Amino acid sequence: MKKVAMALTKVFLMFALIGCSNGDQSVSKPDTDGIIVGENATVLIAYFSRADENHSVGIVNKGNTQIVAEYISKQTSGTLFHIQRSTPYPTKYKECTAEAQKEKNDNARPSLYEDISIAEYDVIYLGYPIWYGDLPMTVYTFIESKDWNGKTVLPFNTHEGSGQSGTQTTLTTICKGATVKNGLAIRGSVAQSLNTDTQQTINNWLKSTKN
């Protein structure tokens, strides 16, 4: 009986190991070859994004840009940092846009809720929505307080028809000493759903930044 029990135990262990092996092989991996810019690069994904009531997507729990930022973080193993104004923007869309337009007209630099040092990071993915054809003023506050010398900056933005709206050129000017690579622009409504086609678009961009 002992021999039979031992034989059955061996058979069980063999099938268990086979099952584990098949499970490992079935796990899908992102088609991005790991960390995107440099094998040993330290990566930060700093983004400004607003939830609540938004154009074309209604009331959402997560802002469009945040959804893209979180996906990039998963693909690159980068650290996420949410750029936020110290006083939150109004939850209503029209009230928020009125306040954002006033900030732009005043060339304001709103204070931040919290900040992060970029000194330890080699690569910074910088995300933002397009507000009135420009970066949100809160993003200017974040950028202008940093030393960008020697950093690689990869901008990504969400929009509803304006594309990058010249913000890549703006970043090249204000991120002094940094290498600003080609950015990615995604419609906010497309980012909000983040289907497989959109994921592949982001993956393709991530891979292209290695060159």
Q: Where are the domains of the chain?
A: 38-208
Convert the pLDDT of each residue in 133-152 to its tens digit: 999 999 999 999 999 999 99
pLDDT band for 210, please (50, 70, 90 cuts).
confident
Average of pLDDT values for 14-21?
Answer: 35
Convert the pLDDT of each residue in 106-139 to its tens digit: 999 999 999 999 999 999 999 999 999 999 999 9
Q: Which residues does residue 184 pair with via DSSP β-bridges, in sequence order?
A: 156
- Indicate if the pLDDT at residue 33 is higher than 60: no
Convert the pLDDT of each residue in 177-194 to its tens digit: 999 999 999 999 999 999
Gap between the Cα atoms of 179 and 126, Å rounded: 13
Q: Write down the pTM of the prediction.
A: 0.82
- 166 contact partners, CB below 8 Å, separation of at least 6: 133
What is the structure's pLDDT at 4? 40
CATH level 2 (architecture), domain 38-208:
3-Layer(aba) Sandwich (3.40)
Average pLDDT, the chain: 86
